[in-house]
Structure 1
Amino acid sequence: MAVGTKTTASRILDTHKIHYTLHDYEWNEEEMDAVTVAEKVGILPSHLFKTLVLKGDKTGILMACVPGDKELDLKSLAAVSSNKKVEMVPVKDLQALTGYIRGGVSPLGVKKRYPLYIDDSIRDLDPVSISAGRRGTQIFVRGADLVLVCEATLGPIAR
């Protein structure tokens, strides 16, 4: 079903019998932005979804996935997630909260289950690319399958 070394995220897809492929790429600290990663794995930046970790003033920690060629709209995410305000968590807190490090945060296999919000542009995309849970590996999967497995809420959260 997949090529490459399995990750926690890919094993979760296996458990749900979801088809995906793994794509490895050379990475370095200066080139971890979504557009560069999309180019390295051969997918449009609009099909590569970056995973962000935030804190809402009412709900606490939550996660969001937005296309690599867009930015997260904090006001829209706040509205969709029933918060007045959301803000990014400090990079130094990522591993403690998710089990992942910057550049390797996946919406799958997070240490603790947080509410996940994905930009609604994912709905009909096939494939989309997400982090496999480690730097240098991306998962390609159908957008609808990712939403289903993650039990994500869709909304217009990117601009």
Structure 2
Amino acid sequence: MAETKTNVMRMLDKAGIAYHSYTYDHEDGKIDGVSVATKLGQNPDQVYKTLVTKSGSGQPYVFVIPVAAELDLKKAAKAVGEKSIAMIHVDEINKLTGYIRGGCSPVGMKKLFPTVFDQRVLDIPTVIVSGGKIGFQVEVAPDALLKLVRGKTADLTVE
């Protein structure tokens, strides 16, 4: 059987970016990042979740942080030069990104939104993010991923 390729994997292939893909069973409904990292025996400090937000003016921003961390909204706003940032409602995720909750990847959204990774991504050899579908992940070199999504880094998490 041929390996299923997600749109994220096809985009990484097209960009010539090496990656390793993982699949996991999600029948139990446990699709949060920490549960997924545990299922796959991965270091949660290396597995990052993709959070979609909007500024007060309605501009979407994407923040990518370690799965066990919490986004500091004040730090996030400062990182993108906005007064305030708020998480978008779960109902808006698909309309805005083309993804669903639990399968949101920084790669391959409907539009390339300003994307900021937690600065700790620079301290790890590879980062694991959603493969764009629940049950799929990709492991990529942080610099290649940052370049692909035109991302930057900043201190983003609650201490």
Under TM normalisation by the shorter chain, which class is it?
over 0.9
Render the CA deviation track for 1:32-81: whole Å, top value 9, x for unaligned: 21111111222111111100000012461111000012111110000011
Residue in structure 1 matched with residue 135 of structure 2 by the alignment: 136
Render the CA deviation track for 1:78-119: whole Å, top value 9, x for unaligned: 001111110000000100000000000000000111110110
Q: Structure 2 counterpart of 1:13, which letter?
A: L
Secondary structure in 2 matching 1:95:
helix
Residue in structure 2 matched with residue 87 of structure 1 by the alignment: 86
Secondary structure in 2 matching 1:45:
coil
Distance 1:59 1:93, change over 3 A: closer
Report deviation, 1:124. Answer: 3.0
The 5 Å alignment of 1:113-128 reads: 113-128=112-127
Percent identical pairs in the alignment equals: 34
Q: Structure 2 counterpart of 1:27, which letter?
A: H
Q: Which runs of 5+ in 1 are unaligned?
A: none
TM-score, normalising length from structure 2? 0.93
Q: Structure 1 counterpart of 2:151, which letter?
A: A
Secondary structure in 2 matching 1:76:
helix
Looking at structure 1, the residues matched to 95 and 138 of structure 2 have their Cα atoms a distance apart, in angstroms, of 23
Residue in structure 1 matched with residue 103 of structure 2 by the alignment: 104
Q: Which runs of 5+ in 2 are unaligned?
A: none
Looking at structure 1, the residues matched to 107 and 42 of structure 2 have their Cα atoms a distance apart, in angstroms, of 20
Secondary structure in 1 matching 2:93:
helix
Looking at structure 2, the residues matched to 28 and 76 of structure 1 have their Cα atoms a distance apart, in angstroms, of 35
Contact 1:4 1:23 in 2 (8 A): no
